[in-house]
Structure 1
Amino acid sequence: MTTPPPLHPGRDPGDNWAYAADGTRYWGAFGAAGLLAHDAERGVLLQHRAAWSHHGDTWGIPGGALHRGEGPLDGALREAAEEAQVPAGALLPRATHLLDHDVWTYTTLVADVASPFEPVAADAESLALAWVPVDRVADLPLHPGFGASWPLLQEALREHPVVVVDMANVVGSVPDGWWRDRRGAAERLLGRLARLRTAGVASDRLGLGLDAWFPRIIAVVEGQARGAQPRDGVETVAAPGAGDDEIVAQARSLGAAGARVTVVTSDRGLAARLDGAAAVRGAGWLLEMLDEVAPRQ
């Protein structure tokens, strides 16, 4: 098939072209988004695009036009589900990359496969779907937009940011009466950290490329806060002894496994012990981000 199927009259208004002043057109009246799913064993999920599609007969990622009022992450997951039956629950977001052409944007969601799945070509936009080893992607005839972004995206696949939070230090940096209920104060902070994990962290705050990241967050609790209930997306580690000892052990273990570790603490003694094992940011660094996405109630 070399001509596109007719547009459905009841389609979302986003399923249309956006035009630049010079006449260049881009698919997606409200922008577009796509999913780069990465499986540690099999590589990345690519789509062989139908000949009739924009830049057809090339390889790219499942994606398409955003719907009215739809966020780019939701749009990327919806398009991947529609085109390749990618189950959203099988993925863990890692980062986003934004291509901005002023009148039109394209957001690539980089996500790790947590539960393996087999893609299925669910509509006429795909000639084939395949897991392609990362080092073989550049050998394929790539969609121009994806090809231009691939070097940055490939580099992102090598990065595994982890933020380890000294909960006692961060909680104690704000004199809000936390000493009357240390466990409750820790749980409130865990709730805010969960919202940050969902919202993402700007790349410049982690010293990484792309635009935003969804780092793994590990919260180390100690003392009376050990019983704090965990929150979705945040790992809680109860220190068996001194919290500082557990934070150092976590940083060294994660670093040895290839992670880029950032420890959040304003404790100078702990920071000195972490020299070379992790980047260290003060409590204010974290609290500023939390105030943006999850203000204190």
Structure 2
Amino acid sequence: MTIQPPAPGEPPRPLGPRNPGDAWVVAGDGSRYWGRFGAAGLLAVDPERGVLLQHRVSWSHHGDTWALPGGARHEGESACDAALRESAEEAGVPASAVRPRLLSVLDLDVWSYATLVADVIRPFEPVISDPESHELAWVPVDAVDDYPLHPAFADSWPMLRSLLPVRPAVVVDAANVVGAVPDGWWRDRAGAAGRLLGEVAALAAGGLDAAGLGLAADTWFPEFHVVLEGAARAADDVAGIDLVRAAGHGDDAIVDRARELASAGRAVTVVTSDRALGERVTAVGGAVQPVSWLRDRL
């Protein structure tokens, strides 16, 4: 692998190098990829308008094609942060207006490209905020193939499109998870639940490996629903986690929530090592993972 600036005769990038990542990676076969530390882009999905695409300017690599807002990662920058930063720089996408759903990574050893698929949770209008775009447009999912796509995006689009209907959710049996570790939780059930919620919130922010959820791609950011019962219901709310404070038995609340999510089309995983509860969850369309599965990821 070698690192090079734009090739002789290639129109320069108008803004010039802004960080050490703004350089071409040249593979052994001569293939060239933009981004010394890899690159990332955002596939923003709006339920009404479709997906946000960028019409690339003529002087860019594979110019006059349509692709995702994105670009070179900074050194040490996560793929998610890079995708959100680049989409803000190129299309004015507010990070607060989207919620990450999954990350798909093309890893070529010498270079990688990460696609962050994110759901629009607050409608916004894209804004051309640098010279790299002819235009920005919301394109209905069924119409994307009608556009002249950047070759790399054209290759990845069928897989990405197949994942758009998939929306995973994880329901946590907090009593079962907390009770699996003899750390004195019985002296302060609300405090023990609060500690678990903090750990789950950190996991939710960082994402779950796709294989652990039985899904394609690399990392998913599922909805997390944590069911509390008894004294644990006094635990405080935690951002990013949907708390279910069971009015009665926690098992019934878990089954009800799993049924509700499955009926809404979610791919539901319930975390519990209670065999009888697991059978009830399976009967309403959910999958089950043991407490150890979650503990290994916290």
TM-score scaled by structure 2? 0.94
Q: Which aligned pairs between 1:31-46 and structure 2 lie closer than 5 A?
A: 31-46=38-53
For these two proteins, the number of residue pairs brought into alignment is: 289
* Partner of residue 118, structure 2: 111
Q: 1:275 to 1:10 in 2, by over 3 A?
A: closer
Q: Which aligned pairs between 1:149-160 and structure 2 lie closer than 5 A?
A: 149-160=156-167
**Residues 40 and 72 in structure 2, CA contact (< 8 A), matched pair in contact too:** yes
1:280 equivalenced with 2:274 (yes/no): no
Q: Which sections of structure 1, spanning at least 5 residues, go unmatched?
A: 291-297
Q: Share of identical aligned residues, percent?
A: 60
* Partner of residue 251, structure 1: 258
Structure 1 moving runs of 4+ over 6 Å: none
Q: 1:261 to 1:62 in 2, by over 3 A?
A: same
* Partner of residue 170, structure 1: 177
Question: Which of 265, 269, 281 is 1:262 aligned to?
Answer: 269
Shift of 1:275: 2.2
Distance 2:225 2:91 in 1: 33
SS in 2 for 1:120: coil
Shift of 1:230: 1.9
SS in 1 for 2:105: strand
CA RMSD of aligned residues (A): 1.3
Shift of 1:4: 3.5
Question: Which of 124, 132, 136 is 2:143 aligned to?
Answer: 136
Q: Which sections of structure 2, spanning at least 5 residues, go unmatched?
A: 1-8
Shift of 1:7: 5.5
Shift of 1:151: 1.1
Shift of 1:137: 0.8
Q: 1:7 to 1:29 in 2, by over 3 A?
A: farther
Structure 2 residue identity aligned to 1:132: V
* Partner of residue 199, structure 1: 206
Shift of 1:72: 1.2
Of stretches 30-39 and 3-12 in structure 1, the one that deviates more from structure 2 is 3-12
TM-score scaled by structure 1? 0.95
Q: Which aligned pairs between 1:181-200 and structure 2 lie closer than 5 A?
A: 181-200=188-207
Structure 1 residue identity aligned to 2:231: Q
Distance 1:230 1:221 in 2: 11
